[in-house]
Amino acid sequence: MKRKVSLVLSSGGSRGLAHIGAINELEKQGFEISSISGSSIGAVIGGLHAMGKLPEYTDWVKTINRQVIWGLLDFALSTSGLLKGDKVFDKMKTIIPDMNIEEMRIPFAAVATDLLNEREMIFKSGSFYEAIRASVAIPTVFIPVMYKNLLLVDGGVLNPVPIEYVERKQDYILVVVNLYGDKKNELNKNVLPNNNSNDNQLNGLMKNMAKLVSSGDKGSLGYYSMLTTTTAAMIHKIARQHIERYKPDILINIPNDSANTFDFHKADELIKIGEMVASEQITKYRIL
């Protein structure tokens, strides 16, 4: 019989494409994913798998290069965020229609942060796209979501590894894919980088954008970079505390230097990293 899995997928930007590789490896090795919870990108990938549409998303994301990413950035004239976040989800809807969470084939929970009330907002019903738009609303990057008089931002702010919200039964094993693993540069040597020589002009535009959102000179972190670095340090600590508290049966730690927030053009590389690390941890679990 297949071992049933309660799967928890953490927040972590484009590194979340490693979630795809971890899911692929779990199923390849005979595990049955029976429930899922996710925060931010973990909610995106988890929800797509719960509705049975992860292969379609994978095919699409593998076509993304830096130019496509640039075309999906819809800048906002707002003090609450740099990006609206509508373009990317409008594009996804042309590939994968919306679905109510309660109609998915696998029980699923997406986590966002209710900013004003300082608590988690858990989506277990209603529109998938409405839930993930709130769950991925990185503060200062994406405009927050107004939902039933609540101001919602990225789930990773309060709960980057939402273990307590995944459905668990006595015979289920707990598997966590954590995108905040220790840095391990040598991992990237085992996979092929996704380089494109035609991206030079676009790289220049993105560098200029980075300068625009940063303050301070080249030798300083700048306001935006300081904010994101500080936030990352807090989120990493919260993630470690959750994992130590719940002690998953299989912990798949993806190195936090595998990719930057918007490196979705590295899909092949990140999926391979997810498969590789998952395979290593599954082997360790079976030996024990």
Give 114's strand partners. Answer: 119, 152
Determine which one of 34, 154, 258, 263 is catalytic: 154
3-state secondary structure 140-160: EEECCEEECCEEEEEHHHCCC
Between CA 84 and CA 164 the distance in angstroms is: 30
For 104, which DSSP code? S
Is 197 tagged catalytic?
no
One-letter amino acid of 52 = G
3-state secondary structure 220-247: CCHHHHHHHHHHHHHHHHHHHHHHHHHC
Between CA 271 and CA 51 the distance in angstroms is: 20
Give 119's strand partners. Answer: 114
Is 154 tagged catalytic?
yes
Between CA 73 and CA 75 the distance in angstroms is: 6
CA Rg value for the chain: 18
Determine which one of 34, 39, 40, 258 is catalytic: 40
One-letter amino acid of 83 = L
User: What residues act catalytically?
Assistant: 40, 154
